[in-house]
Structures are given as C-alpha cells and as structure tokens.
Amino acid sequence: MNNLQNAPAGEQTFAQFLFHNRQNRMTLYLAAAAIIIQFAVFKYLYPFANYIHGDSFVYLNAAIKNFTINSYPIGYSKFLRLVSVFAKPDLVLTGIQYLMIQCSVLFLLFTIFYFYRAGKVAQRILWCFMVFNPLFLHLGNMVSSDGLFLALSMSWFALLLWIMYKPSNKIIFWHGIVLFAAFTVRYNALIYPFIAGVAFGLSKLPVRKKAAGLAFALLLLGWFVGLSMFQYKKLTGHYQFSPFSGWQLANNAMYAYRKVDSAARLPVPPQFRELDDMVRKLYDRYPDLEIGEASTFYMWAPWLPLMRYRDSMFKNDPSATQLKKWAGMGPFYSSYGWHIIKTYPGHFLQHFVLPNSLKYFLPPVEYLGYYNWSHPTVPETAAKWFGYENNQVRTRMKSNKVYILLPFQYFVAITNLVMVLMLIAYLLLKGWQYRPLLYKSVCLAGFVWLANAGFTIFASSPALRFQAFPALISVTFSVLLIDWLVGLTQHLKLQNQQQSLAI
C-alpha cells in the first residue's frame, strides 16, 4: 500500500496494481492469512451458525419450499438454496458469507487506493480496521441476509467508484448485476438506484452511455418488481411490491398515534374504523404500555391490534397461509399508516422520527449481542437443513453474550459525528480545490450517508446489523477526510514558510 510507488490509475491495470506491486501483493497475502486464521479460531469458539429466532427460520422455510415471494425479500432464501447445492453443513454457508464480506471490503479499499493516493497511515488504519473487524465474523456467522447484503453493498459502492473514475462496459454490466442482487436481498436497496444515478451523473461517460447503464440496471430491477407484484396479485388480489412496507408504515404510525390525547383524536374514514377502534381501546386500556420507542413491536406481537385485526379478516378462510394473511393486509395497513401520519404529522416527527434519529446515531446491537438469542436449540427445520445430529446448538464461550460487539454502537455514534463534521469541514474549506480527485468520492459517500439516514429514520428501524454498510462507508471516508485535512494543513504550513523565506 505504498502511496509513493503506486502509479496513477491510468498507467496500470487494477490487476497490475494488486499483484505487480510487491507491497500491495504482500498486503493481500497477509489479509488472506489473517482472514483464514480468524475464521478458524472463531468457528472453534462458535461451532454452529447463529440464528435470529424468527427471521432466520422464515428465510429457511422459504428456501425449503422454494418460494418466489415471502414476507422478506426472497434473494437470501435463493442464496441459501444455491449454497446447499454444493454443501449442506452450516460451516460452508458461514464461511462463504464471511469470505464474501472480506473480499468486498478489500475490493473497496484497494479500489480507493487505486484511484486516490491516501497517506500510508490512513491506508494502514483502514486495512487493519477492515481485516480484523469482529463484526464481520459475527455477521458472516448469522443465518440472515445481513452479511450477504453488506458484501453486495460494499461491492456495489466500489463499482460506483469505477463508474465515476474508470468506466467500461464490463463495469456497467457488473454494476447492474450486483445492484439487482442487492435489490432482491434487502428493502434498504430501494434507495440504491438513486445513489447510482448520482454516480453515473458524476462519471465522465457520454450522456447516452450513462442513460444506457442506468436503463440496464433499472430493467433488471423492473423485472424483479414486476414478477413480485404479479405473484402478490395472484396470492392476494392486489398488485404490490412489498407488503412489508405497509406493515412497517402502520407500525411506525402507531408509535406516534399512541401519544395523541384521547380528546384530540379525530374520526377516521369508515374503512379504518374497526381497526382504529381496536387501536384506541389498546391505548385507553394500557396508557403506560411499555413497547419501547420507535421499534417494530406493533408488527409482530400477536396480541396487538395489527395481528389481531389480520386474524379477524381471515377467520372465515382457514386455508389461508401465513404468507397470504401477511401479504393480504399490506395495502390496507399502508393506507391506514399514511392516514395517521398525515393527520398527526407533529406527533409522528416528535414520537417516531426523533427517537428513530437517536437510534440511527446510536444503533442497538440487538440480535448480535447474544449468540442464538440465548436459546439452546433451533427448530427441526434448521437442524435438518444443515444436517445437525440434533437440534441443540452451543458455543465454547463462557457466556452467550457477545461482549466484543457491545462497544460498536458507540463507535458508530462517534463515526457518524466525525463523518458529519468532516463533510462540513470539506465544504467550508472547499476541499475540491486541493485534491480534486477525492471530490467525486466524497460527494457519493455523503449522499450514501444522507440517503441511508433518511430511509432508516423515516421508514425503518435502526440496528447495528442494518447499518453496517453506511457505518463502514462513514469510517472509510472519515479516515480519508482526516488524512486530507492533515495533508492540507501541512501544505498550507509549507506554503507559509516558503512565503516567509521569499520575503
């Protein structure tokens, strides 16, 4: 990672940059050795995969039954089926997930170093942070879409840098494929086409190629959206891409609605009256109900109104599957949620957006904080899928609590603050005048941070595993911007000394 010996990107290929430069080549070999050793030690301590009791088994069930649609995006379940073709043990799945995460972050790092000559200290800090990051081990060990989505997102961001600095037809093609894959894995990718639009806009491609590159990606996404909507139409009678968004919207609205004084509640349209009566009775009966702030409790608790109303709608249809019940309520809950939010926007901002903003800056460790959420067993479906002798899972650690990840929420909070401050400093000091090559990357990273923050705060629920991608982008560009600021300070100091000598 020698920033003095590396030739500019235009003078050597990426492969030459990686393998013909002795220092870069040795750095890759060291990374490979460190990754293998860490994974071996980790799997000795955690011989079984980690499970989210709920999500993990929904993914597995969809993989077993080869669903085309599910309550979560179907991409991860398809990934589980693909991996199972080659090998059954969970060691293979977790190993592939961890390797994909590490390869993606190294691809991003060396892409940045290829196009931008960061200082040696900055490069070493970033390399050590990425290669020896325990978060990657725990994300890779989970039967959840989080690790796969992180790997795809990091690779996708690296490809956006290539589109801006050194585009080609091959890069545009792979960008479309990776964006499509991410889109099928997590709903957070809904904002990715807009971010891609910024990258294409900043690239040096002709307008026609920019349009063609975006059109190719949008065509793939459109096919997936159309297929999903058609399948939901067959299942529920409604065209919709994501029933989950309807449930999420109603859930978010209810956190604001519970803070509306009973005397200030306005009548609702007739179609919402039955559900609204259930909601109001809950608030009146349990005014001090403890369900946290800005969470997802209303979506999942079977005794709360959303689930109870869903069950009442399907009481005369005993053949309805859980997926049909879930998906069938998506459009209705979306309409109800929007109605509540539009009726009480101040309450929504105060009692959902504000606490969700605080959670975004200080994301809860959540399921990553405990191995298997302290359950000693997993369902038979998981045991059978991975070929376990029985349904018991264990760890060689003394406690199921994952202490090493507990400080990460504070680290993310500090990183978010530093990222914001460095972006402000970059703007105030007109940083593009001193190192113009960094300008496009900073613009893209800043937009990624803002877009993810907006999406998460207004429409989602923050958690460490969900925010791994924007957090890593923040860490990377915080270090690069600090390196830029140090370089700028030294440059201005040297300039002043030269002027003094001239006088």
Per-residue pLDDT of the chain (503 residues), as tens digits, is: 443 334 455 578 999 999 999 999 999 999 999 999 999 999 999 999 999 999 999 999 999 999 999 999 999 999 999 999 999 999 999 999 999 999 999 999 999 999 998 999 999 999 999 999 999 999 999 999 999 999 999 999 999 999 999 999 999 999 999 999 999 999 999 999 999 999 999 999 999 999 999 999 999 999 999 999 999 999 999 999 999 999 999 999 999 999 999 999 999 999 999 999 999 999 999 888 777 788 888 999 999 999 999 999 999 988 889 999 999 999 999 999 999 999 999 999 999 999 999 999 999 999 999 999 999 999 999 999 999 999 999 999 999 999 999 999 999 999 999 999 999 999 999 888 888 889 999 999 999 999 999 999 999 989 999 999 999 999 999 999 999 999 888 878 887 887 777 76
CA proximity to 135, closest of 461, 362, 472: 472
Tokens of 456: 């998460």
260 and 177 in one domain? no
Provide the 3-class DSSP secondary structure of residue 50.
strand
Distance of CA 24 to the CA centre of its chain: 29
293 and 348 in one domain? yes
487 and 467 in one domain? yes
Euclidean distance between CA atoms 200 and 207, whole angstroms: 9
> Which tens digits make up the pLDDT trace of 200-243?
999 999 999 999 999 999 999 999 999 999 999 999 999 999 99
Domain-embedded: residue 479:
yes
CA proximity to 59, closest of 122, 119, 146, 124: 146
User: Contact 196/214 with Cβ under 8 angstroms?
Assistant: yes
339 and 260 in one domain? yes
267 and 357 in one domain? yes
- Supply the pLDDT for residue 503: 64
Domain-embedded: residue 89:
no
Tokens of 462: 């923050």
CB hemisphere CA count around 136 (13 angstroms): 28
Cβ-based burial of 65 (10 A; exposed 0-12, middle 13-18, buried ≥19): exposed
User: Contact 11/131 with Cβ under 8 angstroms?
Assistant: no
223 and 252 in one domain? no
276 and 321 in one domain? yes
What contacts 24+ positions apart, CB below 8 Å, involve 314-317? none
Domain boundary among 195, 214, 237: 237
Provide CB contacts within 8 A for 301, sequence distance 6+. 291, 307
Domain-embedded: residue 401:
no
179 and 260 in one domain? no
- Give the domain range for residue 345: 243-361
Provide CB contacts within 8 A for 51, sequence distance 6+. 57, 142, 143, 372, 373, 375, 378, 382, 393
Domain-embedded: residue 22:
no
Euclidean distance between CA atoms 466 and 360, whole angstroms: 10
Domain-embedded: residue 247:
yes
Angle at 137 between CA 173 and CA 85, to 5 degrees: 55
User: Contact 232/221 with Cβ under 8 angstroms?
Assistant: no
Domain-embedded: residue 377:
no
CA proximity to 335, closest of 247, 459, 455, 234: 247
Domain count, the chain: 3
Domain boundary among 221, 237, 253: 237
Euclidean distance between CA atoms 50 and 373, whole angstroms: 8
Calculate the average pLDDT of the chain.
94
Residues in the chain: 503
What's the sign of the alpha-carbon dihedral 69, 70, 73, 75?
Answer: negative
310 and 257 in one domain? yes
Q: Whole-prediction pTM value?
A: 0.95
